[in-house]
Amino acid sequence: MTAITIALSKGRIFEDTAPLLKAAGIEALDDPEVSRKLILPTNRANVRLVIVRASDVPTYVQYGAADLGIAGKDVLLEHGGAGLYQPLDLNIARCRMMVAAPDGFDYDSAVRQGARLRIATKYVQTAREHFAAKGVHVDLIKLYGSMELAPLVGLADAIVDLVSSGNTLKANNLKAVEEIMPISSRLIINQAALKLKRETIQPILDAFSAAVKL
């Protein structure tokens, strides 16, 4: 049996992926939330998991360091998708990419007046495309986390971030003012690995397809 490596991030992606892996007959032998190991063996001798930062998953798969991976659409749009085959939306880790602003900020009227907006975000590519399509002039400020803080301390007028429950926005006196797109996570496959290791990969792809909840 050909050996394969699957790249995953811990937290919500690992949790939502575990049932899909199980449907494909794969179970991790260590819990990534507890273990410090970055390479996790599974019940199948030819399948191992590597635990990486969510935004690094496409890079590992692109270069073939992992054959398969699971990554959010948000992450894939920023990465660009080079070298990746994206056959399946797994419909997990769902949320929405939103523009959010302080409760008191009249976003619609700022847009109507053609104001130049300062937008803080981790999702620079997605934000640039969104505002360009709307014809809104923006200065994008790249952050790596806690975007919600930026408008509260005068770094930005608004942010582009992921929202699921909305609790983080509410706790920081922010409101969602525009939806950019719905987000879920996809299975990604290294294009060369799919050809060379199809015998091992295809059954996993089929099991995932059958187990996806619509």
Q: From CA 120, how far away is CA 150, in angstroms rounded?
A: 7
Mask: binding to ligand PRT, 1-40, rule CB under 6 A, as x and -? --------x-xxx---------------------------
Which residues on adjacent β-strands are paired with residue 183? 95
Residue with the shortest CB distance to ligand PRT: 72
- Identify the residue among 8, 68, 93, 143 touching ligand PRT (CB under 6 A): 93
Shortest separation between residue 46's beta carbon and ligand PRT, angstroms: 27
Using CB under 6 A as the binding criterion, the count of chain residues that bind ligand PRT stands at: 23
Q: From CA 197, how far away is CA 137, in angstroms rounded?
A: 47
Cβ pair 127, 160 in contact under 8 A: yes
Q: Which is nearer to ligand PRT, 56 or 157 (CB)?
A: 56
Is 75 a binding residue for ligand PRT by CB under 6 A? The answer is yes
Q: From CA 62, how far away is CA 93, in angstroms rounded?
A: 22
Stretch that binds ligand PRT, among 25-33, 99-107, 131-139, 155-163 (CB under 6 A): 155-163
DSSP H or E segment with residue 139? strand 138-142
| Burial of 190: CB neighbours in 10 Å, binned 0-12, 13-18, 19+ | buried
- Buried residues in 150-176 as b, exposed as e (16+ CB within 10 A): bbeeeebbbbbbbbeeeebbeebebbb
Q: Which is nearer to ligand PRT, 71 or 200 (CB)?
A: 71
Q: Which is nearer to ligand PRT, 77 or 136 (CB)?
A: 77
Positions that interact with ligand PRT (CB under 6 A): 9, 11-13, 53-55, 72, 74-75, 93, 95, 145, 161-168, 183, 185
